[in-house]
Amino acid sequence: MKKLLFLCSLLIVLDATAQKFITSGTIEYEVRKNQKKEMSRFETDQDDNGFWAQLKDKIPQFSLNYYTYQFNEEAGLYKFTRTADKQKMPMWFSRGQEDNIWYNNYAQNTFTNLKVIDDNYLISGALAAIQWKISPNDQRIIAGFNCRKATAILFDSVYVFAYYTDEITVSGGPMGLHGLPGMILGVTVPRLYTSWVASSITLTTGNIAPPAKGKKKTDTEIMQALTELSKSWGKDGAKYLQPTIWQTFL
């Protein structure tokens, strides 16, 4: 009996130890957006024939999509995989986010992303230095991992709330988010009405390569392309532009 208890205790210890040294795998994130709240930002007293109010009444409260993030100690690749939405939103509303790919090279502190605007564009550069503030007493369990809360402000005014685990030692996360002492498993960006939560984590290995097909552009050129594209979104195009910029460069 004592030997059995010892073996069980040993297995528990080994399992806990193994978790603390995860350095590669694939995370699936459940991405949920409050579509009705996002649409409310476009409503005004001058709304043409109540267009936005009518459209808002016809769509589900939330959209639900899934993205995967493959990672190892050197790099990470984040991309769309599937949707749980039964009602397809117009392309002009989703702004082509399903086609974007985020690649981060942590060993070289660089990124190469595919952004689909009016064409396929590749942008690259140094990873942003995100100033995180960690709240060690605010914790939760995500996908079976103990996580701590951290906050940051991006684009001067966009608050990001993240939960990371040091049981996965890679300092990465969805999109371009990184820089915490572990893997980011949960994110909320209130101004985008969107949350990202890890729904599953599997141990995988394999090469991680950056996207290669697209026209190389600078951040400034991407901004110009978005500005030009917004002119085709109607008189309220400027309202769509700012959140689109945040989503593009997040």
Give residue-wise pLDDT tens across range 74-91: 999 999 999 887 766 555
Give residue-wise pLDDT tens across range 51-70: 666 666 677 888 899 999 99
Q: How far, CA to CA in Å, does 194 sit from each of 2, 34, 38, 64, 129? A: 51, 6, 9, 10, 22
Q: Is residue 3 part of a domain?
A: no
Task: Note the pTM of the prediction, 2 decimals.
Answer: 0.85
The confidence score (pLDDT) of residue 51 equals 62
Q: Is residue 115 part of a domain?
A: yes
- Which CATH number fits the domain that encloses residue 70? 2.50.20
Q: Is residue 240 part of a domain?
A: yes
In the chain, the number of structural domains is 1
Give residue-wise pLDDT tens across range 188-224: 999 999 999 999 999 988 899 999 999 999 999 988 8
Q: Is residue 9 part of a domain?
A: no
pLDDT higher than threshold 90 for residue 144: yes
pLDDT higher than threshold 90 for residue 239: no
The whole-angstrom separation of Cα 87 and Cα 73 is: 38
Q: Is residue 4 part of a domain?
A: no
Q: Report the chain's mean pLDDT, rounded to a whole number.
A: 84
Q: Other CB atoms closer than 10 Å to residue 63's CB: what's the count?
A: 22
Q: Is residue 110 part of a domain?
A: yes
Q: Is residue 13 part of a domain?
A: no
Strand (E) positions, 177-237? Answer: 183-189, 194-202, 215-216
Q: Is residue 94 part of a domain?
A: yes
Q: Which residue range is the domain that position 175 belongs to? A: 20-249
pLDDT higher than threshold 50 for residue 33: yes
User: pLDDT-derived band of residue 5, with 50, 70 and 90 as boundaries?
Assistant: very low
